[in-house]
Structure 1
């Protein structure tokens, strides 16, 4: 008997197989789109990249999801819970308030053809209280700013810092119109982020950030976001005042700092303003105004942060006693151990004028060593 060959299997016609594969492919496509609408990576990063959300919103009010645009996710407003008890000089607060108010009046059409500068550039020596006083002035005005640091002005992706500034600007603009609360955009140490230093060629992000700020200054109520570039005034945003701080604005691109775009204001506190700020910082320690005047007279060329460092130095002796009593091998359990009953607290510290003066002389000596010895010159020979 001849061996039986392999059994034949019935196969569907080619047309039927193609139709079935098409239905499976379309089903996978619909399922993938549904997964994106429910929170896939494409949906999270950019709704406007082609991913549409019709599952919950439908197509009547539009398919753009609010969460994808960042409109309701990017809430980076600064709170001032840790700034209680500090003092902002009246001269500083009035300068910030004038800049904010005149820009908001321009947005309401109260200034007519007058167009104030959108950016207030506060510059001065290191440690003189520019950043802290800006936040104190905002707190005094009841203003909720969005704060950007110099480190955020660079990114591994070209163009991201400029896009981030536009998003935050529009977030502040929407907040003012939707909540009725004042807001502004603050950029701290801008010269450290996008300034040009010696032998520094700069980056694409430096150029884009300069260009973005210049464009916002020229068109403060028509700011684009994402892939949609706005060129008309059919839907305008609120005008948001911008405040930047830095030490040397000559390192910035000159057209950004020109009159009409940026109001430059140098902050250098007087001796009396310095005494008032120091007294507000140390009054809970029992120091009087006369003690603060003695400190300023003894160290006349020192900025505000110098006196804050003196206050921190006073705690060094108490911390050293704490370490001696606990022992190096017991620090883990005493500070961060899981057994809270074994954790110890630092005892009361008494701050006196004499102790502050002694700490001040030590800090000044260290400053002089850094300036005089300059070991870097030895290393670079």
Structure 2
């Protein structure tokens, strides 16, 4: 798909229950989130915007579990944009300069590929707030590695062109308040805080459920999400998984009865036999599954 057609109605769907829904591979992606990302990509790919140079980095911050990463991956897949992925933990190394070299190699390889093939790509760094590029406080030692990395990222933001192309970089994290000020100044990095409102969250969760339960009722999902206003999107994804695997106890019992007399190629048959989708999901069942999931204290795992 060409850049000029990114805003086309190919992925625009009219639903009886959800109006003006934008779907990408069956995933609902709110317009605000989508446009901030696509605008950043388009401006960075452009070679002529009247002498203006957009920020190379787009920082998307928001609470964990609100869909930042999976919606970005879905957008890239939908528009055939190759995503070069790094995690915050990748930006580390035992030797001075290791962190810089990792992202430098990634950036240079992406530029070479874009210059040769013209195929669009983007570098995504997840959990950047936990990387050595963040100031994590006085109790966390500052390493030469982090200083070298910060210096490289600042220089890259100021001089991003290589082989007459530049690769946009999107960083994701929960909170970027501890980012080094020199890196986040105007012109180097743009910021976007992702906090979905109720309608956006309901639509995202509805289409998550619909992928596995096509007959799910929109009004039931809206009621469910409204009853858990402080829960994040990941919570409802866990509810879907709990429902999907609700017959696992029977599957495990069958496995035990066979006393190890089962081959790898028989495992799929066993799973298909006991894990089946029931399209007749009542709100009562939804509510009970959510209540059970809510009993799990997430704070115990943080």
Shared fold (TM-score greater than 0.5)? yes
Q: Identify the structure with the greater helix proportion.
A: 1
- 2:294 maps to 364
Equivalent residues in 2 for 1:233-272 (5 A)?
236-272=163-199
- 2:229 maps to 300
1:338/1:263 Cα in 2 relative to 1: closer, same or farther (>3 Å)? Answer: closer
Deviation at 1:94, TM superposition (A): 0.9
Cα distance in 2 for residues equivalent to 1:342 and 1:121:
41
Deviation at 1:257, TM superposition (A): 1.4
SS at match of 1:313: helix
Cα distance in 1 for residues equivalent to 2:270 and 2:296:
32
1:279/1:338 Cα in 2 relative to 1: closer, same or farther (>3 Å)? Answer: closer
1:333/1:150 Cα in 2 relative to 1: closer, same or farther (>3 Å)? Answer: farther
Q: Tell whether the 8 Å contact from 2:25 to 2:74 is kept in structure 1 after alignment.
A: no
- 1:350 maps to 278
SS at match of 1:327: helix
For residue 100 of structure 1, the aligned residue among 21, 31, 41 is: 41
Q: Tell whether the 8 Å contact from 1:162 to 1:209 is kept in structure 2 after alignment.
A: yes
Q: Deviations over 1:300-323 (max 9, x none)?
A: 111111100111112443111111
Cα distance in 2 for residues equivalent to 1:101 and 1:169:
18
Equivalent residues in 2 for 1:191-230 (5 A)?
191-194=129-132, 195-198=134-137, 199-222=139-162
TM-score scaled by length of structure 2:
0.82
1:205/1:333 Cα in 2 relative to 1: closer, same or farther (>3 Å)? Answer: farther
User: Which structure would you say has the larger RCO, counting Cα contacts within 8 Å and 6 or more residues apart?
Assistant: 2
Number of positions where the alignment pairs a residue of Structure 1 with one of Structure 2: 271
Deviation at 1:272, TM superposition (A): 1.3
Of 169-178 and 347-356, deviating more is 347-356
Deviation at 1:126, TM superposition (A): 1.1
Cα distance in 2 for residues equivalent to 1:203 and 1:163:
15
Equivalent residues in 2 for 1:1-381 (5 A)?
84-105=25-46, 108=47, 110-194=48-132, 195-198=134-137, 199-222=139-162, 236-283=163-210, 284-285=212-213, 286-327=215-256, 330=259, 332-334=260-262, 337-338=263-264, 340=266, 344-346=270-272, 347=274, 348-350=276-278, 352=281, 353-367=283-297, 370=300
Deviation at 1:324, TM superposition (A): 1.8
Deviation at 1:345, TM superposition (A): 2.2
1:209/1:368 Cα in 2 relative to 1: closer, same or farther (>3 Å)? Answer: closer
- 1:229 maps to none
Q: Tell whether the 8 Å contact from 2:25 to 2:78 is kept in structure 1 after alignment.
A: no
Cα distance in 1 for residues equivalent to 2:298 and 2:251:
30
Deviation at 1:207, TM superposition (A): 2.2
Q: Identify the structure with the greater strand proportion.
A: 2
Q: Tell whether the 8 Å contact from 1:86 to 1:280 is kept in structure 2 after alignment.
A: yes
Q: Deviations over 1:160-214 (max 9, x none)?
A: 2211111111222122221121111111110112233341113332222222211
Q: Tell whether the 8 Å contact from 2:58 to 2:189 is kept in structure 1 after alignment.
A: yes
Q: Deviations over 1:5-60 (max 9, x none)?
A: xxxxxxxxxxxxxxxxxxxxxxxxxxxxxxxxxxxxxxxxxxxxxxxxxxxxxxxx
Larger radius of gyration: 1
